[in-house]
Amino acid sequence: MSQSIQEQIQTFKQDQQNRGRLLISCPDQPGIVSAISTFLADNNANIMESNQYSTDPKEGTFFMRIEFECPDLPTKEEELKTQFSLIAQTFSMDWKLKSVYDVKRTAIFVSKELHCLRELLFEWQSGDIITEIPLVIGNHEHARQIVESFGIPFYYIPASKENRAEVEEKQLELLKEYNIDVIVLARYMQILTPNFVAAHPSEIINIHHSFLPAFIGANPHKRAHERGVKLIGATSHYVTNELDEGPIIEQDINRVDHRDDVKDLKKIGRSIERTVLARAVKWHLEDRVIVFENKTIVF
């Protein structure tokens, strides 16, 4: 990474060193918020942002995301976890207590079309997306120049239907080597095998160039043109083994009309795709997205 971005991340980490996040899901019942907030207050932590949602207040599942400031968090983090695990047990919670300091590590997969990659890199450079980007993997060479100009290693791994297993093996090795938390498919255009997907559950974010579930699969703009739609969309979702059926994180649309041919739709689509993907990635990096029953809760 270029030095200025590296410095920017360091500054962020220093500023946020006492900032923590608590992520919880459990069966709903009275007393959960009380238990959590009392735990935080007892540890002298101040709640900065808090979101909760219950699928059904009677017998549903309860979800919560809290950002808090806790003095001396770096030294107290382990103790907090130990303490909290008792509360978690009482309420049968799935939970994570994380320091914002631990910035996530993102790998971007790309093919020939670079608009989504560019948007991510520039939002990243502007400090609007906070993450480490230790590598970009492309199945074509098109992205090398821009990626390397940001000081990021670029790995060219040609991929096709034929060599999928072999390619994914290499990719998984790299992801392991670089200790990657999040994989962003920035118009990568290759289908991943169940093996790959299983290795990174709810950690692979894709952008599909249609308003799902309309136009699942290939050539959505061509099919949108044939149908004569008046809006085209883009959808960012987590990758599952069902093509374009994973939990939707974000969607948006733009207006088109009869004058727009397939080429125009692609052009118009590019601006939505990059915006939608950047939002989804940002929310994921901030731990705002929770997957539940093939849907997302976005706090």
Please give the residue ranges that form the binding site for a second copy (CB under 8 A): 28-31, 33-35, 37-38, 40-42, 44-48, 50, 52-54, 57, 69, 115, 118, 122, 126, 128, 149, 211-215, 227-231, 233, 247-253, 257-259, 267, 270-271, 275, 294-298
Smallest distance from a second copy to CB 17, Å: 15
Smallest distance from a second copy to CB 182, Å: 20
Q: Distance (Å, rounded) from C-alpha 274 to C-alpha 118? A: 8
Smallest distance from a second copy to CB 11, Å: 14
Residue placing its CB nearer to a second copy in the complex, 26 or 229 = 229
Indicate which residue of 56, 244, 261, 264 is catalytic: 244
Smallest distance from a second copy to CB 196, Å: 23
Residue placing its CB nearer to a second copy in the complex, 196 or 283 = 283
Neighbouring-strand partners of residue 222 = none
Residue placing its CB nearer to a second copy in the complex, 161 or 227 = 227
Residue placing its CB nearer to a second copy in the complex, 116 or 182 = 116
The reply to whether 244 belongs to the active site is yes
Cite the beta strand spans of the chain per DSSP E. Answer: 19-27, 46-54, 61-69, 94-99, 105-110, 132-138, 154-156, 182-186, 204-208, 231-238, 248-255, 289-292, 295-298
Task: Specify the residue for token string 């960012």.
Answer: 236
Q: Distance (Å, rounded) from C-alpha 211 to C-alpha 235? A: 6
Q: Which amino acid is at 207?
A: I
Q: Rounded to 5 degrees, what are φ and ψ at 60?
A: -90, -170
Radius of gyration of the CA atoms of the chain, in A? 21
The residues annotated as belonging to the active site are 244
